[in-house]
Structure 1
Amino acid sequence: MTQSLTNESNEIHEQIIDEVAALEDRDPLELPPLYDAVEPDALESIFSTTVGGTTRVGRVEFPYADHTIIVEFEEEPVVRIE
């Protein structure tokens, strides 16, 4: 099953936790800490605008709570949960 995020939060790590919790019908606090899978601050900064003002493009994939989390970034982050 694949789920795309529709959460209103601007923080990628919050979106991931909220959507995995919704997908599993669990309270977000019942999930394992995201930092066991990925450093949340690094996840946020890896796609931040460069000092020169250009937008970074890329993809990060990692396992979390028995799911594969895929974050792709071009103009806006797109997060998929598989």
Structure 2
Amino acid sequence: MGQTLAVGTDEVHERIVTGVAALEGADPMELPPLFDAVDPDALAAIFATTESGDRRSGHIGFTYANHQVRVEFDETEEPVVTID
């Protein structure tokens, strides 16, 4: 069973960590560092507005703490984080 997080915190990396912690029933500080799975700065850069002011669209996926994480984003909405 997966969990989809559309809102909750402002930062995508925070939504990933808190989402996995919720699925695990654990404190987020008990999880491995996110940077073991993905560079949080690079993750934030993917969602940053372009120099022309446009937002990017697409998706990325990776494994974090034995969970499959997918982040989807488009030009108009906040990124949606899905954790399986």
Q: Same fold (TM over 0.5)?
A: yes
How would you bin the TM-score normalised by the shorter chain? Answer: over 0.9
Measure how far apart 1:51 and its partner are. 0.4
Q: CA deviation at 1:50?
A: 0.2
Instruction: Output the CA distance in 2 between the equivalents of 1:24 and 1:76.
Output: 24
RMSD of aligned residue pairs (Cα, Å)? 1.0
Question: Are the aligned partners of 1:4 and 1:79 in contact in 2 as well (CA < 8 Å)?
Answer: yes
Alignment of 1:1-82 (within 5 A): 1-5=1-5, 7-74=7-74, 75-82=77-84
* Structure with the larger RCO, 1 or 2 (CA within 8 Å, 6+ apart): 2
CA distance in 2, matches of 1:6, 1:57: 15
Please report the TM-score for the alignment, with normalisation by the length of structure 2. Answer: 0.92
Structure 2 residue ranges without an equivalent (≥5): none
- Over the matched positions of the two proteins, sequence identity in percent amounts to 56
So what's the TM-score if we normalise by structure 1?
Answer: 0.94
Q: Which runs of 5+ in 1 are unaligned?
A: none
Q: By how many angstroms is 1:47 displaced? A: 1.6
Segments ≥4 residues shifted beyond 4 Å: none
The number of equivalent residue pairs is 82
